[in-house]
Amino acid sequence: MRKSHRRRLTATPRDIWFTPTDGAATTSPAPAVEWDMAFVVGEDGRSRLVDPFGRSISYLRVSVTDRCDFRCHYCMSEDMTFLPKKDVLSLEELDRLCSAFVRLGTRKIRLTGGEPLVRKGVMTLIGSLARHLGDGLDELTLTTNGSQLAKHAGDLAAVGIRRINVSLDTLDAEKFRGITRWGELAPVLAGIDAALAAGLSVKLNTVAVKDFNESEIDDLLRFAHGRGMDLTLIETMPLGEIGGDRIDQYLPLSKVRTDLESRFTLSDIDHRSGGPARYVRVAETGGRLGFITPMTHNFCESCNRVRLTCTGTLYMCLGQNDAVDLRKVLRTSDGDEAIDRAIEGAIDRKPKGHDFVIERSGAGPSILRHMSTTGG
């Protein structure tokens, strides 16, 4: 049986809160705020953060770098300006913040980017965070573009990673080079093979892009299921300036599913991977196919996650701008109490849902920051 507990926390959030429009840190002191935080305590005595809408926040996505060795059209512009190193948290600081979340009840951590495996020393961070597995943390995983996977797959399995997500939008080498602007497909496929050989469970993530890969979904499905991998399709989201109209890329997954059902037998199943995907079983292949639909059928009602950037900015919602500067708290406090309070206060501000809209012709993205900043 679980018992509900409430406690009140008071803090003066000077230099912590960000303005909702441009992300610039506020400099004027704000009045003291009382946070009425609800905790749900399980049988093991560990608390879990609960937001104002009763959702247990047990999943942390951490962007360990905004840098990537690809420039996918739906994610980045070709000429990206990346963060100066002084603004990026050290590996030790990332470890400290992740550990705070585990202490407060986070059960799953996913490392993202950018491309997480291009961050220098990232395996040291992964190895360190793995100490929490079985001691508060149920799963440590990552999402990768696969370009660096062949060299790291064995080490990932050795430290306790059990499953990973690999982004793959096409099986055509020329189209792959086009969508990534210069990436090579062969190393990604080699990385997938290396991960499977190392015993990792692999799920493929495919962003459905209009007039690009909608005719390849069948091939990607058979490729994934033929190797024992799940495939998840994702709608493109209006994050960051990418140098084109997103409406020209947008492909509703409702349309994709209807199209697939003319050739495959899809049956809804209860499988959950800890994220927002809704899954079906494909009778002809025996495999699972997931749909992540932030535009056509959002998943806000069951949201269990928050996102930490490599600068220490905590976003409570992928599709909102409200954020908390945990780096400021981290670098000005010796103990854990101030960090815990900042995290708890942030969870109490988590919104009910996002405001994604894709509009025609130069209206600009709904959210100015790029996906590589937030980590998806």
> pTM (2 decimals)?
0.81
Match 């062969």 to its residue by tokens: 186
Q: Which residues contact 313 (CB under 8 A, 6 or more apart)?
A: 18, 23, 323, 324, 325, 326, 327
User: How far apart, in whole angstroms, are the C-alpha atoms of residue 347 and residue 318?
Assistant: 14
* Domain positions in the chain: 3-374
CB 326 within 8 A of CB 307: no
pLDDT over 70 (residue 317): yes
For residues 261, 262, 264 and 268, what is the CA-based torsion angle, rounded to 10 degrees?
A: 20
Amino acid at 125: L
User: How far apart, in whole angstroms, are the C-alpha atoms of residue 173 and residue 214?
Assistant: 16
* pLDDT-based confidence at residue 2 (cuts at 50, 70, 90): very low
User: How far apart, in whole angstroms, are the C-alpha atoms of residue 223 and residue 374?
Assistant: 29
Give the burial class of 231: count Cβ atoms within 10 A of its Cβ; 0-12 exposed, 13-18 middle, 19 or more buried.
Answer: buried
> Could you say which architecture CATH assigns to the domain 3-374?
Alpha-Beta Barrel (3.20)
Q: DSSP assignment, residue 137? A: B
Q: Half-sphere exposure (CA, 13 Å, Cβ side) for 340?
A: 13
pLDDT over 70 (residue 367): no
**Residues 334-348, mean pLDDT to the nearest whole number:** 94
Amino acid at 148: Q
CB 30 within 8 A of CB 80: no
197 or 369, higher pLDDT: 197
The token pair at 183 is 């990436």
Question: For 237-290, what is each residue's pLDDT tens digit?
Answer: 765 454 555 567 789 999 999 999 999 999 999 998 877 899 999 999 999 999
Give residue 364's region: left, alpha or beta (phi > 0; psi -120 to 50). left
